[in-house]
Structure 1
Amino acid sequence: MPALFPSFAKVNLSLEVIGRRSDGYHELRTVFQTIELHDLLEIEVTADPSIALTCDDPTLTCDDQNLVVRAARLLQSTAGVTHGARIHLQKRIPMQAGLGGGSSNAAVTLLALEQLWGAALSVATRQRLAAQLGADVPFFLVGGTALGLGRGDRITPLPDANLPTIVVVNPKVAIPTGPVFRGLQAELTDELTIHTLTACSPDNINWLAAGNDLEAVVFRAFPLVREVRDRLRALGAHLARMSGSGSTVFGLFEDAAAGEAARQICLEAGWLAWTSPALGRETYARRIGVTGSYPPS
Structure 2
Amino acid sequence: MIRLRGVSRVFGGRRGMVEALRDVDLDVADGEFVAVVGRSGCGKSTLLRLIAGLAAASSGEVRVGGEPVTKPRRDVAIMFQRPALLPWRSVLDNVLLPVEVFGWPRAEYRVRALELLEMVGLDGFHRRLPHELSGGMQQRVALCRALIQRPRVMLMDEPFSALDALTREELSIELQHIHMEHAATVVLVTHSIEEAVLLADRVVVLTPRPGRILTVVDVGIPRPRTLGRGAHTADAARCSAELHELLGATSGTREAASPGASRTTKSPNSRQMPGTGGF
Indicate the TM-score class for this superposition, using the shorter chain for normalisation: 0.3 to 0.5
TM (normalized to structure 1)?
A: 0.31
TM-score (ref. length: structure 2): 0.32
